[in-house]
A and B are shown apart, each in its own frame.
Chain A
């Protein structure tokens, strides 16, 4: 799952794999993409992170020539998406969020169809099918009808299919949603192997933090705009906010702490979350209130936290739900 932070050798000399300038797209009055600009180095792993409805899928459909922008210039693999859409489509591979295999055909037939549609001659097609089935370890399932596949197998087959015509850029829309950790690791291993051996550029959109921790470059989008950009480490370092979660020993201690830190957040009754503002914050706090606390936990900066502090919202609905459950559990406990 961890991807090397260094781009493939020789990548610096290449023009960017994706170059977007001033991209704007509206659905009626709603602005889906708002003057968005970004650049992805060839051979790198790029992740687009944002909540549902942030404009990720819209951006993806513009980059894959399925939708035309209202304004702005978009170049993919060196071709303009408006003027040379077929050249763009020949150079990219797509793994969609929802399965897009024909589940009445076998694994081999799905790949063969893809090869034909991408204009590959017979021998090249046969070789690519063998190589790709080996890459995603589905050789034993060659003749099996896709309907009988598990979710993880379908995903692997889709990745094999998307890589079959040797694209320069692979787009992955929420590639490992709903898959177990083992399958997820396998998938990233295949992708990393392709990136190492032939300088494939990876463009991933996701709202799962775990998925992008290994990316070279992360772009956080919200409401059609880029709100932060950089390597995962840099983002965490620059924008991440460490937190100190404390549980005061008594109600009097709770009141005293709240008086000292009026801006503290209260995640659940009886607990306080304090923003760590400097290196001396924790020692100072312990010196003043150390004997008034029954529990204390330090939370290092996370990308989730970066997103939270940038937008004031959690990245995904699941997190909202978890927090809600925690809160109501706390309420119930408090009543007792």
Chain B
């Protein structure tokens, strides 16, 4: 019992340190605030009037939503992606500046150290996702309390999976500079190729889709897990799905377990 309590104290300590570091990192905080503003208030507002289709000479919304509403959940996912994957920098920092050894010679089991760290990173990323929720009013998204709770819960699970993925990346990358390049060449392509900034019109048949979009892009979107992650959050926030919601939940759950196990293998070596 005291054993369990000691491990819990350790996990809490590691978590607390990540939170302190995240809240003191002005640059990261600034990015977390400015990114959704740019994406929603400039890109979203700018493209909003063009988000409609022409059917039989009549201009109509393709979806029962405007562009800001459609984009809103995707911007949350983008903010979470940045913060979670950038978390790898914290892991590299600990390794390069020797702090990791302080934790590895402590009586805490390795899995508990990693769990504390990942929970800390996931909390910070969820915080950055929740920041975007405050902008809901400007994106014409009205939210009920249960929707907000469901969204935060889902965001935390997504953050956890992506943070573990960041730790895996940290194990593969040897330098800070290398990681900066790596994360930028990873995050934005994943985001764009995920039906996050444009819809795949569900009313179109497969053949019609193929005439509107090149086949390779459709293929990229379908194999990209971020597609389903965004789609599930869209379901929670604006009640719109392009794919079955269960795919998103299942992928996030699998990502949490799979990436944590993978991260544990590479952590502390």
A residues apposed to B, CB below 8 Å: 64-66, 86-87, 89-90, 92, 94, 96, 98-105, 109, 112-121, 161
A276 to chain B, nearest CB (A): 46
Contacts of B24 in A (CB 8 A): 104
- Is there an interface contact between A121 and B9, defined as CB atoms closer than 8 Å? yes
- Is there an interface contact between B6 and A119, defined as CB atoms closer than 8 Å? yes
A-facing residues in B215-251 (Cβ within 8 Å): none
Contacts of A113 in B (CB 8 A): 13-14, 16-17
Q: Enumerate 14 A-B pairs (CB-CB under 8 Å) in ascending A order.
A: A66-B101, A66-B105, A86-B107, A90-B107, A92-B105, A94-B102, A100-B97, A100-B98, A100-B102, A113-B16, A113-B17, A116-B16, A117-B10, A117-B13
**CA A112 to CA B20, docked complex, whole Å:** 13
B14 to chain A, nearest CB (A): 7
What are the 6 closest A-B residue pairs judged by CB atoms, nearest first?
A: A119-B6, A116-B13, A100-B98, A90-B107, A117-B106, A89-B107
**CA A114 to CA B17, docked complex, whole Å:** 11
Contacts of A92 in B (CB 8 A): 105
B77 to chain A, nearest CB (A): 29
A86-B107, A105-B20 in contact; A116/B9 too (CB < 8 A)?
Answer: yes
**Nearest CB in chain A to that of B21: its residue:** A104
**Nearest CB in chain B to that of A171: its residue:** B105
**Nearest CB in chain A to that of B25: its residue:** A104
A116-B16, A117-B13 in contact; A100/B101 too (CB < 8 A)?
Answer: yes
How many B residues touch the partner, as a band? 20 to 34
A172 to chain B, nearest CB (A): 13
Cross-chain pair count, CB within 8 angstroms: 77
- Is there an interface contact between A119 and B7, defined as CB atoms closer than 8 Å? yes
- Is there an interface contact between A119 and B99, defined as CB atoms closer than 8 Å? no
**Nearest CB in chain A to that of B98: its residue:** A100
A-facing residues in B1-25 (Cβ within 8 Å): 2, 5-7, 9-10, 12-14, 16-17, 20-21, 24
A96 CB contact (under 8 Å) in B9, B17, B98: B98
Q: Besides A66-B101, A117-B14, 14 other CB < 8 A contacts?
A: A87-B107, A92-B105, A100-B102, A102-B17, A105-B20, A109-B17, A113-B16, A114-B102, A114-B106, A116-B10, A119-B6, A119-B10, A119-B107, A119-B108
- Is there an interface contact between B13 and A109, defined as CB atoms closer than 8 Å? no
- Is there an interface contact between B99 and A102, defined as CB atoms closer than 8 Å? yes
B residues apposed to A, CB below 8 Å: 2, 5-7, 9-10, 12-14, 16-17, 20-21, 24, 97-99, 101-109, 113
**CA A104 to CA B18, docked complex, whole Å:** 11
**CA A99 to CA B101, docked complex, whole Å:** 10
- Is there an interface contact between B104 and A119, defined as CB atoms closer than 8 Å? no
- Is there an interface contact between A117 and B101, defined as CB atoms closer than 8 Å? no
- Is there an interface contact between A86 and B103, defined as CB atoms closer than 8 Å? no
**CA A120 to CA B7, docked complex, whole Å:** 10
B105 CB contact (under 8 Å) in A65, A115, A116, A120: A65
Residue with the highest number of chain B CB atoms closer than 10 Å, among A89, A98, A100, A115: A100
A65-B105, A105-B17 in contact; A120/B9 too (CB < 8 A)?
Answer: yes
Contacts of A87 in B (CB 8 A): 107
**CA A137 to CA B24, docked complex, whole Å:** 27
- Is there an interface contact between A117 and B108, defined as CB atoms closer than 8 Å? yes
**CA A53 to CA B105, docked complex, whole Å:** 22
B5 CB contact (under 8 Å) in A86, A90, A119, A161: A119
Contacts of A102 in B (CB 8 A): 17, 21, 99
**Nearest CB in chain B to that of A101: its residue:** B99
Contacts of B97 in A (CB 8 A): 99-100, 103
A99 CB contact (under 8 Å) in B16, B98, B105: B98
Contacts of A99 in B (CB 8 A): 97-98
Residue with the highest number of chain A CB atoms closer than 10 Å, among B2, B14, B20: B20
B124 to chain A, nearest CB (A): 14
**Nearest CB in chain B to that of A85: its residue:** B107
A168 to chain B, nearest CB (A): 13
B140 to chain A, nearest CB (A): 40
B104 to chain A, nearest CB (A): 6
A46 to chain B, nearest CB (A): 18
